[in-house]
Structure 1
Amino acid sequence: MGDSSSSPLSSSSSSSSPYLNQNQTHSLMATTITDLNSDSLAHCASYLNLQDVCNLAMTCNYLKRVAYSDSIWQRFFTERWRQPLSSSSFPSSGWREMYLARRTALQQFKFTDPFVSEFFMDARPFNHLLLDKNDIFLTQGSLIQKINLDSYQHGTDILLTLSDHKARITCMRLFSLNEISLFRGDSRRDQNVLVTSSCDHSIRIWWKDSCQRCFKGHNGPVLSLSNKLLGEGSSKVLASGGEDGTVRLWSLTSSGKRGQQALKATLYGHEKPVNLMSVAGHKTSLLVTISRDSKVRVWDTATSSAVRSSCCVGMTSVPGTPVNMKCYESLVYVASGSSVTAVDLRTMQKVMTSAVHQSKLYSFDVVPSKSLICTGSDGRAMLWDVRRNQEALKPKPIAELDGHGGPVTLLHMDPYKIVTGGTDDSLIHVWEADTGAQTNSFTCCFTERDGSKCGCDAMAVDGCRIATASHCEELGMVCFRDFNDATSPVMKLEEHSSKFWGSLSDGYSDDSEG
């Protein structure tokens, strides 16, 4: 059998078992990543990007401590904002805490020096406004206006007008290029496709600054579009609601410039115009629609394979005129009349009525992950905690957001902030989402020759950026603010300041402030 001394096992220590195989020997000698000291690991992690460091922190407690190292987050902070520090000071709360506090403050618009761009346009009301990376899309009547922010910074033509619609545009949506199978051959997969509906009975798909498809089928104005595409994979469909009371499903794989044979199903059941629609959060084939008579219907579009088919799987009604609705998992939150109602889509039972106002609602938004609802009414908005309202016989808000001179018709809410505005008010107010504490206020328009100010027609918020549109008798204006690189904190709202402000003023030299 040969000399046993030449076997790999013979080199092991005398205390090792003579019956260990080669794999077991390597297992005993293996070193895991957690055997390395934390300083070495932190040095290695300093070459990772932010997402990779966050992923590292979620693996185990030991690597979480490594991922929280000051040296790593100091690099992230200085690379992100490039703010010099005075040599005599160091952030006492740690670099990770400083980074997160700065990022939160930017998300909450807690600065006075954002990058501001103003674009003057025709004196016509603005109906819709969307922010899409470096583009601003807005509508005035039947016209779509596109403002390119990159072109503005380079001093070239910034405004493009799309005029294919022949009547007022009623809805405007953005969908990822990855979801639109019409353009699968295009290599720029990180871009969005614009979809609009109009009173001219049509739906149009816009790509590369021109209309690529025109879908027609409604017997009247098209009033609403689904906020997401329905279904999975390459069989996704777009839903539309019309003044004719029908819901129609459109395939985005149809060929032909006019979208021949794009209409896949017509869903009947509503007796009044379909004003609002939203895709369920727990099942992508479920579509929730509300008609003008406050009737709510749920459709399972996976079962609708032919024109004139009916696939309604649930019905209910809500009190008052519909204002807005949002789906989250198996719930749909419906703002109508003077209250917000939550309906379980699995049973169609009303599980909660909250945000009850004495006057009617004009706007609504929700952050379900934080159980928070915000509603806009006459002169103020109100912040509600869903969990408190479930236990209370008479729901009460956790904060009243006062300060507007008219109805709060514009309202945005995300995990960081609430942004409110109105058509009768020249100011946009910003509030903390958790507490309702005010963080900032700024004007959305200009002063007219007689000294009066116009209100805000439309608003779009995307992270640290906000765009507003307003008009008066003489001209219209779109104002874009970007807080990403702002450095001067709002100091006048000291009662609402966090520890971040003290750290900021303590941590930076005089040359870097303001």
Structure 2
Amino acid sequence: MACNHPLPSTSTNHDSTTKVTDMDMDSLVHCASHLTLQDLSNMAISCKFLNRVVSSDSIWRRLFRERWPQQEAYIISQTSGVREAYMARYRALQQFKFFDPLVCDVYIGAKSSDLLFSKDSIIFSQGPLIQILDIDKLLEGKVVFAPLNDHRARITSMRPFACRLFPLKETSLFRNEAQINENVLVTSSCDHSIRLWWKGSCQRCFRGHNGPVTILSDKLLGDGTGKVFASGGEDSTVRLWSLSSSGKRGQHALKGTLYGHEKPIVLMSVTGHRASLIVSMSKDSKVRVWDASISASDRNSSCVGTTSVSGVPVGMKCHDSLIYIAAGSSIEAVDLRTMKRVFRTSTHQGKLYSFDIMPSNFLACTGGLGRAMLWDIRRSTGTTEACPMAELDGHIGPVTHLHMDPYKIVTGGPKDPNVNIWQADNGNQTNILISSPLDNAGCSGLAADGFRIVTAGYNQEEGVLRFRDFSNAVSSGSSTDQITGSKFWCPSTSGDADDSDG
């Protein structure tokens, strides 16, 4: 809503117009009180006048009561305004700064892997089996699983693709606009196949790899018609698959096979500056950039860039025209337009076990033995002596599981019974969660999504999923004295510690 766009006049005088800014503040506040939070955010950044409208306490009091109806006392206790109180509570809940979330334990028998959230479901794999747990039923006290069991060997990768990421007409799966928010799940397996699941059944089976399929692309490729996804395998090939192929067997779905790697593919990421480019990394740390828009007859020219890094591959993620790679004990960034290394930073951790990055915030996190480290990638100057922002200490064993979003970092490992929560912007520790109720069980998997987190534990006899929902938590700060906080680093005083703000 732009404040300088005139509204049509109801007057017979066609020269007379009324602007939004001509309306009185109370009327605008009344209108804005019916908007969603996203609409209010858009309105607030349109101009200063509408920003003042959106700042009205009456609007934010309504939003507060709708989301947290039992927290009226929290509003009253805040002196900085209702809007600020809403945002402060929202941020604190996202950072899990509370000690009374809703907790549900689900015993699953065997060890699980590849945990992820998909709307109101928790999805995980157990060998060749995919299990989908209904969260709404779980909150009602019912444990309802929807098993997907068409694979014949271990699941290697799972990716949820939302339909809204590509036109519905590009696949024969979807026939009406009402399904625009539906999700499809794509899985790869050691049985040499890729399967696309929708509404509890396998809708497509893609075959073509001459061995186990090891990895799937993190996004779809293409910006117009003919959306495709990519897969990598132990046969050292990258293959492109169309989502618009008809038939349950996915006939003619294979749109290209890209050769050039000499070892199994272990990492893949679609670039940010061109939707047709995908980066693949093989087990020998060789990196290749492919252009999926090149026709099938020119596949020998589809590799448009190569490079290599040192060390065992750990993680890789594209953002704009850069590719960020964690391998061995270092983080590197390569400009995909020139294939030149922009920077390289040693992590001082000996060996990396996990990696995640928020390039838009210039933050990266690495997991090592007994600790994780938070990095400001803007401080990297190409030398190997750059210092981390903070050391996330206190882990037992390797930090193999790492989640990072704009609010928080979540870390855990198979030898550690606890999952640690940290603020993403400064590394302050906000909470410590027990990953499972089992004795002698570490964290064998985790997934976080907004106010929710699910962790998996396994003790060689049975497995448990522990689901937590912080949406309506109320007890905050009561256990902050139990949290030791992270170590903050700077070139002159790299060993100093700073207390957590809880």
TM score, norm. by length of structure 2: 0.89
Structure 1: segments with no counterpart, 5+ residues: 1-22, 499-514
Q: Is the Cα–Cα contact under 8 Å of residues 96 and 430 in structure 2 kept in the other structure?
A: yes
AA in 2 matched with 1:254:
S
Query: What root-mean-square deviation, in Å, do the aligned CA atoms of Structure 1 and Structure 2 show?
Result: 2.1
2:349–2:368 CA contact under 8 A, matched in 1: no
Distance 2:467 2:300 in 1: 45
Aligned counterpart for 1:147 among listed residues 133, 140, 144: 133
Partner of 1:110: 97
Which whole-Å CA distance do the structure 2 matches of 1:350 and 1:50 have between them? 41
* Aligned counterparts, 1:314-353, within 5 A: 314-353=305-344
Partner of 1:471: 458
Does the C-alpha gap of structure 1 residues 43 and 298 become closer, same or farther in structure 2, counting only changes over 3 Å?
same
Question: Would the alpha carbon gap of residues 405 and 393 (structure 1) be closer, same or farther in structure 2, given more than 3 Å must change?
Answer: closer
Instruction: Output aligned runs, 1:33-182, within 5 Å.
Output: 33-86=20-73, 89=76, 91-123=78-110, 125-156=111-142, 158-178=144-164, 179=166, 181-182=171-172
Amino acid at match of 2:445: A
Identity %: 55
Distance in 2 separating the partners of 1:147 and 1:140: 13
> For residue 8 of structure 2, what is the aligned residue in structure 1?
none
Encode CA deviations 1:126-175: one digit per residue, 9 max, x unaligned.
Answer: 22111111111101111111111122234555012222111111100000
- Aligned to 2:289, the other structure's residue is in SS state strand
Q: How does 1:249-328 map to 2 (within 5 A)?
A: 249-306=240-297, 309-328=300-319
| Counterpart mapping for 1:19-30 below 5 A | 26-27=14-15, 29-30=16-17
Structure 2 residue identity aligned to 1:206: W
Amino acid corresponding to residue 43 of structure 1 in structure 2: H
Which residue does the alignment assign to 2:373?
382
Letter of the 1:387 counterpart: R
TM-score norm. by structure 1 comes to 0.87
Q: Which one has a bigger Cα radius of gyration?
A: 1
| Displacement after TM superposition at 1:74 (Å) | 1.4
Q: What displacement does 1:424 show?
A: 1.0
Task: Describe how 1:359-508 pairs up with structure 2 within 5 A.
Answer: 359-390=350-381, 394-448=385-439, 453-493=440-480, 496-497=500-501
Question: Residues 316-368 of structure 1, C-alpha deviation per residue, up to 9 Å, x if partnerless?
Answer: 00110101101111111000000010011111111011252241100011111
Spell out, residue by residue over 1:205-263, the C-alpha distance to the aligned partner (whole angstroms, 9 max, x if none).
Answer: 11111111111111111101001111123401110101011111111111222112111
- Aligned position for 2:174: 184
- Bigger shift: residues 87-96 or 49-58: 87-96
Alpha carbons of structure 1 residues 119 and 87: separation in structure 2 relative to 1, 3 Å = closer
Contact 1:265 / 1:306 at 8 angstroms: preserved in 2?
no
Conserved in 1, the CA contact under 8 Å of 2:344 and 2:384? no
CA distance in 2, matches of 1:492, 1:156: 31
- CA deviations 1:284-321 (Å, max 9, x no partner) are 10000000000000001100435965400000001101
Partner AA of 2:473 in structure 1: A
Aligned residues: 470
Distance 1:122 1:139 in 2: 12
Q: Indicate the structure with greater helix content.
A: 1
Residue type of the alignment partner of 2:65: T
After TM superposition, the structure 1 stretch with the greater mean CA deviation from structure 2, 75-84 or 131-140, is: 75-84
CA distance in 2, matches of 1:467, 1:88: 30
Q: Which of 204, 207, 211 pairs up with 2:195?
A: 204
State the shift of 1:90 in Å: 5.2
Q: Structure 2 unaligned runs (5+)? A: 1-10, 482-498
Amino acid paired to 1:383: L
The higher relative CO (CA closer than 8 Å, separation ≥ 6) is in 1
